[in-house]
Amino acid sequence: MVRYRKTIVKELGRHKNKIKSILKFYGKEIPKELDTASKYWSLNFIKWVKQIQTSTKEGSLVIQETIDTVEYLRKKQLRINKELRNLSKDPRYSKEIQLLTSVPGIGIIISFIFLSELETIKRFKSLDKLSSYVGLIPSTNSSGEKDKTGNITRRSNKILRASLIEAAWVAIRQDTALLLEYAELKEKMRPNEAIIRIAKKVLNNFGIQHRRLLILYC
């Protein structure tokens, strides 16, 4: 179900980008008062898009058809979210979800993504092994006596890595200590590199809670 949700979210993003591309093609600028609303596709923003009339009948039709698809996909996403919330109260998952969501940045949906993708944390002997599987280990290049550390490796579980980075952005808004650490890291590196470091810390906290679950069940 979480992978199906991922497919819906991907399709939703594709259609949203398509609408913005059409608006740009016809020179339709988003009003300043809707700048923030456009990022979250609020009801006010969607209402504004529906009222757009382009210089051609075909352009207006494509916008209307695409916004209809966006609304349809959003309803499907909300249904899946509701089912996952209901499932989080099921005795099969309630203990896991309650413990995992205590980690800053980790919500119900991301908890289910991790539980379904990892299956069991006993597969990994260390945080580095787990980070490597997720895709948070920097790539290295050795040449002679020099070792260079590059960007994070391309080998990864893409679903987990994307979810973890998303969780890291949420975590720095929820946890003051993580926010301060992120601010310090930004002084030494680029923001996207700093958030990767925070993501690894969130993963470590997740791993600690997951191990507690194993102890509880044993």
Phi, psi (rounded to 5 degrees) for 28: -95, 110
9-13, 23-27, 91-95, 128-132: the lowest-pLDDT one? 128-132
Domain boundaries, the chain: 2-87, 95-217
Task: Dump pLDDT digits (tens) for 127-180.
Answer: 788 888 888 875 433 344 443 334 555 667 888 888 999 999 999 999 999 999
Residue 90 has pLDDT above 50, yes or no: yes
Q: Which residues have CB under 8 Å from 35's CB, separation 6+? A: none
The sign of the torsion formed by the CA atoms of 154, 10, 101, 92 equals negative
Model pLDDT for residues 24-77, shown as the tens digit of each residue: 999 999 988 888 878 888 889 999 999 999 999 999 999 999 999 999 999 999
What are the residues whose beta carbons fall under 8 Å from the beta carbon of 129, sequence distance 6 or more? none
* E strand or H helix that includes residue 154: none
Would the pLDDT of 216 be above 80? no
At 214 the pLDDT is: 56
Query: Which pTM was predicted?
Result: 0.76
- Alpha-carbon gap, residue 86 to 112, rounded angstroms: 12
Residue 48 to residue 28: CA distance in whole angstroms? 11
Residue type, 2: V
Q: Is the Cβ–Cβ distance between 19 and 49 less than 8 Å?
A: yes
